[in-house]
């Protein structure tokens, strides 16, 4: 389980500081009440790059990549690009030996720009277009077959190596929108269909492996272990009935991230080691494993900085409005996600419980229902931890808000990963 790191405990009086920094990146620290990440003060980042701003800690990204790489020296670790498509982060992960899992032409383009191709590129999708299959073939990527009709289409597109996505009928304990392996899932193939698809694929394609992914934001390995048992049973059937064994076995991603102090999730190494051990114990044949994490690689590495604007009391609730909201982070509305926050420019004892609302034209645009803080004032900076995954990636332009910038920080330096959109960018789409 994630533990409080001693270097995150500061000498400040506010008890909350010590607890809350646990959710922040490895390099997060506070000095004189000012939060810094990667040795750069939040106040300086906000001044230089504007707000909202997503700040990624290089050290945490690297540590998470190494935590996965350390599980099995032979395993291929691919970053689930959907968590945050960023060429800079893909390049960083590639330098740590990671590949990429992509599920659209756009994500594929990001991965290729970062220099990924061949075995280090895995192409997913429950409805791949011809263009996506052709682009996968051009990159000599591994393609994960998601339906039986895809065999002929993959062949047509000159895809060579494929995996079959197995739906093991496992209900992951997570929000139902991000379960992916239950019986009625739109993803993958049940064991009978997967076997039939494999049989057809053996004639003309090169089936190299099998894949499972049961869902996202998982807080425990139990259902993943059950899925692995079913995957092993499937491999045994494929061996017995088709004389085929997988060279590659992709165990998917899915490990969650703690967004608030109430959540407890295993660390990446513990979670992935349990999965790998279960598979190895069940399957005696040689096979290279693939791990496909997204959220757990980037989630805790990212902190979003917002500027506090209007504050008001309404019906007994103390509202604090920030300069972003559901356009830069729709997870509270989509999944009922609960976030935590601290003031990033000053410290002090909690002076009340506040509701952090966005600036959008919906009452539901609430980032945090209730949080104890020193009383926020206009101009303060609010830092929301564990916002590196599925935030900017899911951002919209609701209310014609330009999407925020993202920066990478390390060793006292900050570099732009992605610039802030401008209103001119938005107007440029208009006919
Ligand atoms: C096929 C596949 N692999 C990997 C991932 C990454 O999952 P996560 O970000 O939860 O680790 C996803 C996302 O749900 C996925 O659909």
- Going by pLDDT thresholds of 50, 70 and 90, the confidence category of residue 172 is confident
- Going by pLDDT thresholds of 50, 70 and 90, the confidence category of residue 293 is very high
Nearest atom, ligand 1, residue 217 CA: 10
Residue 294 CB less than 6 A away from ligand 1 = yes
Burial of 384 (0-12, 13-18, 19+ CB in 10 A): buried
- Going by pLDDT thresholds of 50, 70 and 90, the confidence category of residue 13 is very low
Residue 165 CB less than 6 A away from ligand 1 = no
SS3 382: strand
Task: Output the DSSP codes for 243-286.
Answer: S---SEEE----B----STT-----HHHHHHHHHHHHHHH--S-
Model confidence pLDDT, tens digit, residues 269-287: 999 999 999 999 999 999 9
Kindly state the DSSP code that residue 8 receives in the 8-state scheme: G
- Going by pLDDT thresholds of 50, 70 and 90, the confidence category of residue 262 is confident
pLDDT at 19: 42
Catalytic residue among 1, 6, 243, 361: 361
Is 8 a residue whose pLDDT tops 80?
A: no
Residue 201 Cα to ligand 1 middle (Å): 24
Model confidence pLDDT, tens digit, residues 305-360: 999 999 999 999 999 999 999 999 999 999 999 999 999 999 999 999 999 999 99
Beta pairing partners, 303: 55
Residue 124 CB less than 6 A away from ligand 1 = yes
Model confidence pLDDT, tens digit, residues 64-109: 999 999 999 999 999 999 999 999 999 999 999 999 999 999 999 9
Q: Which of 65, 77, 78, 80 to probe ligand 1 with, by most ligand atoms within 8 A of CB?
A: 80
Residue 273 CB less than 6 A away from ligand 1 = no
Residue 252 CB less than 6 A away from ligand 1 = yes
Is 171 a residue whose pLDDT tops 80?
A: yes
Is 167 a residue whose pLDDT tops 90?
A: yes
**Strand locations in 167-241 (E):** 206-211
- Going by pLDDT thresholds of 50, 70 and 90, the confidence category of residue 20 is low
Is 5 a residue whose pLDDT tops 70?
A: no
Residue nearest atom 1 of ligand 1, based on CA coordinates: 213
Nearest atom, ligand 1, residue 297 CA: 11
Residues 23, 4: Cα–Cα separation, whole Å: 9
Backbone angles phi, psi at 203, to 5 degrees: -100, 85
Nearest atom, ligand 1, residue 216 CA: 10
Residues 405, 53: Cα–Cα separation, whole Å: 5
What domains can be seen in the chain, in order of their start residue? 14-50+301-427 (2.40.37.10), 58-298 (3.20.20.10)
Residue 431 Cα to ligand 1 middle (Å): 36
Residue nearest atom 9 of ligand 1, based on CA coordinates: 294
Pick from 248, 213, 22: nearest CA to 124: 213
Residue 263 Cα to ligand 1 middle (Å): 20
Q: Is 361 a catalytic residue?
A: yes
Residue 213 Cα to ligand 1 middle (Å): 7
Residue 265 Cα to ligand 1 middle (Å): 16
Residue 174 CB less than 6 A away from ligand 1 = no
Q: For helices 130-138 and 105-113, what crossing angle results, to 10°?
A: 20
Residue 104 CB less than 6 A away from ligand 1 = no
- Going by pLDDT thresholds of 50, 70 and 90, the confidence category of residue 11 is very low
pTM of the model: 0.94
pLDDT at 10: 32
Residue 253 CB less than 6 A away from ligand 1 = yes
Is 61 a residue whose pLDDT tops 70?
A: yes
């Amino acid at each position: 389980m994630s533990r409080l790191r001693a270097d995150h405990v500061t000498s400040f009086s506010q008890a909350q500081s010590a607890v809350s920094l646990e959710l922040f990146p490895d390099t997060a620290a506070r000095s004189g009440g000012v939060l810094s990440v990667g040795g750069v003060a939040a106040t300086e980042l906000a001044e230089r790059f504007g707000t909202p701003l997503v700040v990624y800690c290089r050290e945490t990204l690297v540590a998470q990549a190494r935590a996965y790489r350390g599980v099995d020296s032979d395993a291929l670790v691919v970053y689930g690009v959907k968590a945050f498509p960023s060429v800079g982060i893909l390049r960083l992960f590639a330098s740590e030996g990671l590949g990429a899992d992509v599920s659209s032409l756009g994500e594929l383009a990001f991965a290729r720009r970062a220099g990924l191709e061949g075995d280090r590129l895995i192409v997913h999708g429950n409805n791949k277009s011809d263009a996506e299959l052709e682009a996968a073939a051009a990159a000599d990527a591994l393609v994960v077959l998601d339906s039986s009709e895809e065999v002929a289409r993959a062949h047509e597109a000159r895809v060579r190596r494929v995996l079959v996505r197995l739906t093991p009928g496992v209900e992951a304990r997570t929000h139902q929108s991000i379960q992916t392996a239950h019986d009625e899932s739109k993803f993958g193939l049940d064991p009978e269909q997967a076997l039939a698809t494999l049989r057809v694929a053996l004639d003309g394609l090169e089936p190299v492996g099998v894949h499972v992914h049961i869902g996202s934001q998982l807080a425990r390995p139990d259902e993943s272990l059950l899925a692995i048992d079913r995957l092993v049973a499937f491999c045994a059937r494929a061996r017995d009935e088709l004389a085929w064994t997988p060279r590659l076995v992709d165990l998917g991603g899915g490990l969650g991230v703690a967004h608030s102090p109430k959540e407890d999730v295993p660390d990446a190494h513990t979670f992935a080691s349990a999965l790998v051990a279960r598979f190895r114990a069940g399957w005696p044949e040689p096979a290279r494993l693939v791990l496909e994490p997204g959220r757990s690689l980037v989630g805790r590495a990212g902190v979003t900085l917002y500027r506090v604007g209007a504050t008001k009391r309404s019906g007994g609730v103390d509202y604090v409005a920030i300069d972003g909201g559901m356009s830069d982070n729709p997870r509270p509305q989509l999944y009922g996600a609960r976030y935590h926050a601290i003031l990033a420019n000053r410290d002090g004892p909690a002076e009340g419980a506040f509701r952090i609302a966005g600036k959008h034209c919906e009452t539901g645009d609430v980032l945090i229902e209730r949080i104890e803080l020193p009383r926020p004032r206009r101009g303060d900076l609010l830092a929301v931890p564990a916002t590196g995954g599925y935030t900017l990636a899911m951002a919209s332009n609701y209310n014609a808000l330009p999407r925020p910038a993202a920066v990478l920080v390390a060793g006292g330096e900050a570099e732009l990963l992605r610039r802030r959109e401008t209103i001119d960018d938005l107007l440029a789409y208009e006919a």
